[in-house]
Structure 1
């Protein structure tokens, strides 16, 4: 079974976090949510999220993927956390998946994970990130083991693509069909 860590920072974008967590769990993927500070997370729109564990405890195990939800404040806090940056570099070095949506691709860039790669993000989030080939109009961009997405409106496509990468296209289709969402509504995904 694939395992995924979703670090949750104060001020994260709840729609992105919950969509990714929910859809990956529907696919039978082992998802661990971890609060950076060990406290309930006050998300950007006032929703309180209670993580499974604190980040320090979550880092005691290995993951196939780490997914960073966006939200300007949440992304800023993720980017300032050296534990997150170290984890991103570790996964990237071992060619495991790193994924980020909305403002969080900036965290990947800050950790050096996006150097020489194609990516997308919330408009303006990667403008000052040299070495990144911005694919701004794309909802989801996959470049090797790095996956990025634009924002809350692309969260479902992002999550379904993550399922596909971890457990195959058939599993992603099964999850999507159970949601009563026709596959033809899936937005184009750019493969580098």
Structure 2
């Protein structure tokens, strides 16, 4: 079974975090949520999430993918945390998946993971960065090798389904998607 880490920072976008957590778990993926510090995380719209653990407690664990929810100031907190940057680089060096949605692709950029890749983000986020070797895309979800990015809250379901496909295959994605009764 695939194992995914979702770091939760104060001010993260709850729709993105919960959608990804929920759909991955529906697909049978083991999801570990980890707060940057101990205690509940208050999201950007005031929803309170209780992480499974802390980031510090799982830094030595093995994961197949790390997924960064966006939202502000959540993405800024992820971007400023050296543990997150080291973790992303380590995952990439091991040939594992890294994924980010909304404002969080800027964290992938800071870690150097968007260099020479196609990526998307919330409008303007990547444009504000000096990324001459990154092709900015406006698709809902962009998968370039083992780096997956997405636009924002409205694309969270498509993003989560793409993550399922990468981790568990097309059939599992179709099974989860059918049960969602999407148009």
| Partner Cα distance (1:129, 1:21) in 2 | 31
Superposed displacement of residue 129, structure 1:
3.4
Instruction: Please give the per-residue CA displacement for 1:102-124, whole angstroms capped at 9, x wherever unaligned.
Output: 00000000011111110000001
Give the 5 Å matches for 1:12-51: 12-51=12-51
> TM-score normalized by structure 2?
0.97
Q: Match for residue 6 of structure 1?
A: 6
Q: Match for residue 68 of structure 1?
A: 68
Q: Match for residue 133 of structure 1?
A: 135
Q: Secondary structure at the match of 2:34?
A: strand
Q: Match for residue 89 of structure 2?
A: 89
How many equivalent residue pairs?
A: 181
Give the 5 Å matches for 1:99-110: 99-110=99-110
| Partner Cα distance (1:78, 1:166) in 2 | 23
Give the 5 Å matches for 1:42-191: 42-127=42-127, 128-130=129-131, 131-135=133-137, 137-182=138-183
Instruction: Please give the per-residue CA displacement for 1:71-101, whole angstroms capped at 9, x wherever unaligned.
Output: 0210000011011000000011111000000
Superposed displacement of residue 50, structure 1:
0.3
Q: Report if the CA contact (8 A) 1:109-1:129 is conserved.
A: no
| Partner Cα distance (1:86, 1:129) in 2 | 21
| Partner Cα distance (2:153, 2:19) in 1 | 9
Unpaired runs of at least 5, structure 1:
183-192
| Partner Cα distance (1:22, 1:82) in 2 | 27
| Partner Cα distance (1:23, 1:129) in 2 | 33
Runs of 4+ deviating beyond 3 Å: none
Q: Secondary structure at the match of 1:115?
A: coil
| Partner Cα distance (1:111, 1:129) in 2 | 13
Unpaired runs of at least 5, structure 2:
none
| Partner Cα distance (1:60, 1:97) in 2 | 17
Q: Report if the CA contact (8 A) 1:106-1:129 is conserved.
A: no
